[in-house]
Amino acid sequence: MIDKNATESVARLALGDRNLGVVRTDEPLRLHSNWKIGGPADVFIEPENEEQIANAICVANENDIPLVVIGDGTNLLFDDKGVRGIVLNLGRSFGRHTIERNVVKAEAGIWVPRLARITASSGLAGLEHIVGIPGTLGGLVWMNGGSLRKGIGENVISVSAIDMKGNTNVLTNEECGFSYRGSAFQKMKAIIVGVELELKPGNQREIKSSMLKILRSRSSKFPRKLPNCGSVFMSVSDLYEQYGPPGKIIEDLGFKGRRIGDAQVSKVHANFILNRGNASSVDMLELIKQIRLSVYKKTNMWINCEVHYVHPAGKIEPAHMALAP
């Protein structure tokens, strides 16, 4: 475990004359999570440009302090203890975009539904499936997120990322290693800062109509009132063919409405876990563990998490990997 005194010294440095952007200490991470769960980050930095990102990396390296990069925190479960290190938040300052013919270049902090609507208004098709997904483009690419069994990686030409030496590299689609809800970035120490996408010319009215249908479907099927991170578990093809999607399996096992503390399986869609007020990371992980075990006992197959857990020491991994089976 990282000594809090070490990050306090970094905080003093960060609040000094280093060019890092907006810096706060003891920032509650629940404010940066759709689940509204998480203790304080010792140092929380909102950089305004790539130079400040490189400077933050330098500060972390010089002081041997963990560096955690987040976007909107849509798919993250922070620990109740927070993060003993630096949390770097790529948000509003990284929201620019350009469109040239059917190629879109966008920064990592752009809001995903906004990007989908911008491309639709430009008569470009291909991003309809992400119009209802909350979060930033960087996080979406990191997860190869999407809906309707599609992923953003299908449209990626290249990704610009800053490595842990502060250098910016451009990776091709192949180098990004996209898989179902995965990418090479999940194991790579690099910060996504920009994405180049290739879309197809289409009929603006038809594209917007398709988006509206997707939004209506999501609104009718998914819980919206209480904090949640969207789908907790990934769909597995073999499991899907035999038993259906994760939500159906979990519902069939009687988990709808199941509650541990203030963590509760949604009564609307069983692949959603809600925070009913004061749920802890322990509550969430225990409920995830119980669901996984029950599914395994019924099907002899494990279901894995889309949501990622952030350890206090800064490690990020799929939530199921933070648990004993």
Task: Evaluate whether 153 touches 176 at the Cβ level (below 8 Å).
Answer: yes
Q: Any catalytic annotation for residue 306?
A: yes
Pairing of strands 316-318, 156-163: unpaired
Same domain, yes or no: 144 and 124: yes
Same domain, yes or no: 100 and 85: no
Calpha distance 169→190 (Å, rounded): 9
- Which domain covers residue 293, as residue numbers? 223-320
Same domain, yes or no: 84 and 114: no
AA identity, residue 60 = A
Could you tell me if residue 166 is left (phi over 0), alpha (psi between -120 and 50 degrees) or otherwise beta?
A: left
Given pLDDT bands bounded at 50, 70 and 90, which one contains residue 18?
confident
**What CATH number is associated with residue 100?**
3.30.465.10
Instruction: Report the pLDDT value the prediction gives residue 6, as an integer from 0 to 100.
Output: 56
Looking at the domain assignment, is residue 209 inside a domain? no
Q: Any catalytic annotation for residue 181?
A: yes
Q: What is the per-residue DSSP string for 52-63?
A: HHHHHHHHHHHH
Task: Evaluate whether 45 touches 27 at the Cβ level (below 8 Å).
Answer: no
- Exposure on the CB side of residue 31, measured as CA atoms within 13 A: 9
AA identity, residue 252 = D
Looking at the domain assignment, is residue 325 inside a domain? no
Based on the structure, what is the number of domains in the chain? 3
Looking at the domain assignment, is residue 216 inside a domain? no
CA dihedral sign of residues 314, 315, 319, 323: negative
One of 30, 181, 258, 292 is an active-site residue; which one? 181
111 - beta bridge partners? 136
Same domain, yes or no: 18 and 72: yes
Q: 265-309: per-residue pLDDT in tens?
A: 999 999 999 999 999 999 999 999 999 999 999 999 999 999 999
Same domain, yes or no: 275 and 227: yes
Q: 233-254: per-residue pLDDT in tens?
A: 999 889 999 999 999 999 999 9
Same domain, yes or no: 168 and 106: yes
What stretches of the chain show up as alpha helix (H) in DSSP? 4-14, 50-63, 112-121, 137-143, 173-176, 204-221, 237-243, 246-252, 281-299
Task: Evaluate whether 147 touches 214 at the Cβ level (below 8 Å).
Answer: yes
Q: Which residue has the tokens 């990322």?
A: 161
> What's the DSSP call for residue 317?
E
Same domain, yes or no: 70 and 150: no
Closest CA to 80 of 12, 33, 46, 135: 33
Closest CA to 35 of 271, 288, 276: 276
What's the angle, vertex CA 233, arms to CA 227 and CA 238, rounded to 5? 160
Looking at the domain assignment, is residue 243 inside a domain? yes
Q: Which residues contact 229 (CB under 8 A, 6 or more apart)?
A: 33, 34, 35, 74, 75, 76, 77, 273, 307
On average, the pLDDT of the chain sits at 93
Looking at the domain assignment, is residue 54 inside a domain? yes
Same domain, yes or no: 232 and 294: yes
Which two structure tokens, joined as six digits, stand for 50? 């790539």
Q: 179-193: per-residue pLDDT in tens?
A: 999 999 999 999 999
Average pLDDT of span 12-38:
86
Which two structure tokens, joined as six digits, stand for 232? 């907790």
Instruction: Report the pLDDT value the prediction gives residue 123, as an integer from 0 to 100.
Output: 97
Same domain, yes or no: 102 and 194: yes
Instruction: Report the pLDDT value the prediction gives residue 49, as an integer from 0 to 100.
Output: 96
**What CATH number is associated with residue 22?**
3.30.43.10
Calpha distance 213→158 (Å, rounded): 30
Of 69, 89, 109, which closes a domain? 89
Same domain, yes or no: 45 and 72: yes
Looking at the domain assignment, is residue 79 inside a domain? yes
One of 33, 160, 183, 231 is an active-site residue; which one? 231
Looking at the domain assignment, is residue 162 inside a domain? yes
Of 147, 173, 202, which closes a domain? 202
**What CATH number is associated with residue 286?**
3.90.78.10
Question: Around Cβ 106, how many Cβ atoms within 10 Å?
Answer: 24
Exposed / middle / buried, residue 281 (Cβ in 10 Å: 0-12, 13-18, 19+): buried
Same domain, yes or no: 82 and 108: no
Q: Which residues contact 243 (CB under 8 A, 6 or more apart)?
A: 249, 252, 298, 299
- Whether the model pTM is above 0.75: yes
Given pLDDT bands bounded at 50, 70 and 90, which one contains residue 1?
very low
Looking at the domain assignment, is residue 34 inside a domain? yes
